[in-house]
Chain A
Amino acid sequence: MTSTLRVNPIACGGHGACAELLPELIELDEWGYPIVDPQPIPPQLIKEARRAVATCPVLALKLIQQLRQLRARRDRDAVRPGLSLAAPSGNHQTPAGARRECS
């Protein structure tokens, strides 16, 4: 079971509580919005991650739990055949996939 953090960018209002509680995985950009590490959460930080999720005043931060094989399949589906991650895509990719694109 892997857990990842995901932020709903529409609901997020840049309150910043998440970055204060989980600086190891979340930092704020220059406008106060969270940049969330898309990698699986290290087990020792799960508790802190849950706290951060609960503290978000607008519940924009979510903890996504996925069975390992489901996650691998979703990542494969997110990469179109013949397209690199840098290619344009009209469909909504998983935010984790999309963020890998930029970093």
Chain B
Amino acid sequence: MTGSTVFWYASRATGVVALLLLTAVFVLGILVNRRGRLPGLPGFAVTNLHRNISLLAVAAIAVHVAAAVLDTYVHIPLLAAVVPFTSGYERLWLGLGAVSLDLMLAIIVTSVLRGRLNPVLWRVIHLTAYACWPVAFVHSVYASKDLQHGPLLYLALACAAMIVAAVAYRLAAASRQVPRAARVGMLLKDQPAKGLVEQGQIAGGPVMRGPRR
């Protein structure tokens, strides 16, 4: 194996790792939003895992990019990692990788600076995660042919399936969400009934969460 091949394999391997980590970050992000829990872990772990794994993903991508640049078999300028569509090799697919990395960096930087930023701005940039993952996925599938056959194909499909499930869950929750102005009215209309009475409490309906999320 030549030195160049080591870099090439390293880049492909860290690419797969990055995709897995990004899939995990995305799903964890939905869990944070839905106040979900991971079995056996405290609630704050979901938030912290979401944040820490995103940093890990950036680290994996740093190696992924460095290895691809250092590899001499094809010429990929370093800048192509963040400036989309400037690579000579596989301009389109690598360009998509750069797009998703840009979005990722924007999301992470705005999250680190969240306390000082306009909350609407933070939210809008965070929402680009819904674009970031599909773009990263397309980059993963087409930049090299690794994910197009064999076990890695199943891995890619599994990741995609998890994202689709997470998004579907999120959309369903959004459509079930009671708008702020209607919440109190809903709670008032619920009459004491079934289940809550035997707990020795007067019913008042479900616990309502605050608005917006």
Q: Is there a direct interface between A and B, measured as CB atoms under 8 Å apart in the complex?
A: yes
Interface residues of A (CB under 8 A from B): 10-17, 20-21, 31-32, 55, 57-59
B166 → chain A, closest Cβ, in Å?
17
Q: Are B210 and A15 in contact (CB under 8 A)?
A: no
Is B91 interfacial (CB-CB < 8 Å)? no
- With A16-B35, A21-B44, A55-B44 known, 17 other A-B pairs at CB within 8 A are A10-B210, A11-B210, A13-B35, A14-B35, A14-B210, A15-B35, A15-B43, A15-B47, A17-B43, A17-B44, A17-B47, A20-B42, A20-B43, A31-B207, A55-B47, A59-B114, A59-B115
The 6 tightest CB contacts between A and B, nearest first, are: A17-B44, A31-B207, A13-B210, A57-B47, A20-B44, A20-B42
Report how far A11 CA is from B33 CA in the complex, Å: 13
Q: Look across to chain B and name the residue whose beta carbon is closest to the beta carbon of A18.
A: B44
The residue on A at minimum CB distance from B206 is A31
A-B contact count (CB 8 A): 36
Q: Chain B interface residue count: which class?
A: 10 to 19
Residue contact B209 to A55, C-beta cutoff 8 Å: no
Decide: A16 and B115 in contact? CB cutoff 8 A: no
Closest CB-CB distance, B34 to chain A, in whole Å?
10
- In the docked arrangement, what's the CA distance between A16 and B48, Å? 13
Chain B residues positioned under 8 Å from A32 (CB to CB): 207
Chain B residue at minimum C-beta to C-beta distance from A32 = B207
Q: Can you name the residue of chain A whose Cβ is closest to the Cβ of B47?
A: A57
**How far is it, in angstroms, between the C-alpha of A70 and the C-alpha of B115 when the chains are bound?**
23
- Report yes or no: B43 in contact with A16, Cβ–Cβ below 8 A: yes
Provide a sorted-by-A list of 11 A–B residue pairs whose CB atoms are within 8 angstroms: A10-B210, A11-B210, A12-B210, A13-B213, A14-B207, A17-B43, A20-B44, A21-B44, A32-B207, A57-B32, A57-B47
